[in-house]
Amino acid sequence: MGAAGATYRQPNSLLKAPRASVFAVGRLQIAGSTHYSHKSRQENASNITGPKTSISCEPALRASPVWLQSAGRIRAVLQGGENATVITLDVNGASRQINIEPDTPLLWVLRDVIGLTGTKFGCGIAQCGACTVHVNGTAMRSCSVPIGSLDGAKIVTIEGLSPDNNHPVQRAWIEEGVPQCGYCQSGQIMAVVTFLRKYSNPTDADIDANITNICRCGTYEPLRRAIHRAADMMKT
């Protein structure tokens, strides 16, 4: 028995899972419950990989997977299902129509359906901020925003912030050498961009109170300097 009710069997075995979406990967057939938690969504969608020739979809089932190829590997992302609905989004200026269950987190849609992987999964509970994107101009933590609440929304990810990394915040990040491992930095940058729209001349206290993204490498001092530098750049 897998996470959150998912059942693992050899092919042609009886599969039982609540509202299951079933597909085959290699020699294992996997029934992924649509009721899974944030963690099991990541495990059942993002982390299922295999060679292209080893994957086949069960034709009799309602879920229709999207296959995304990356570095010779295929990732399966379940779309459709009995409660699926069509959601229309504007993502980085491009209109997208996505047929998916409405409780799917926005982060999963961005990374595994659309293929925009600059936005990162960190905690899954909207605490660390690695998944921050802009939703209608507001910084939001996409791991905990259900896609069903966003029909018609305008989404901007780190990929859409600037075509050439020339946004003042990005330039300040580079000039101050903020990133170390870099994993949290796209979320940090997206949070700071909206912060500076409200605080054009921020104090350290303003930064401490409003930029709550977590950096596992502890780059808070260069990050603070970069925010002040970006604020100065945006005034000129």
Q: What percent of the chain has pLDDT over 90?
A: 64
Nearest to 122 by CA among 22, 220, 217: 217
For 179-235, write each residue's pLDDT tens digit.
Answer: 999 999 999 999 999 999 999 999 999 999 999 999 999 999 999 999 999 999 998
Find tokens 């101050």 and name the residue.
176
| CATH of the domain spanning 85-161, picked from 1.20.120.1770, 3.90.1150.10, 3.10.20.30, 3.30.70.270 | 3.10.20.30
Threshold 0.85, pTM exceeds: no
- Amino acid 236: pLDDT: 77
Residue 12 vs residues 21, 138, 177: alpha-carbon distances, Å: 15, 47, 54
Q: Are 187 and 122 in contact (CB under 8 A)?
A: yes
Of 9, 21, 161, 39, whose CA–CA distance to 91 is shortest? 161
Asked if pLDDT for residue 59 goes beyond 90, the answer is: no
User: How would residue 11 be classed by pLDDT, with cut points 50, 70 and 90?
Assistant: very low
- Residue ranges, comma separated, of all CATH 3.10.20.30 domains in the chain are 85-161
pLDDT, tens digit (0-9, with 9 covering 90-100), for 125-154: 999 999 999 999 999 999 999 999 999 999
The architecture in CATH of the region 168-235 reads Orthogonal Bundle (1.10)
CATH 1.10.150.120 intervals, the chain: 168-235
Residue 162 in this model has a pLDDT that exceeds 60: yes
Interatomic CA distance for residues 109 and 115, integer angstroms: 8
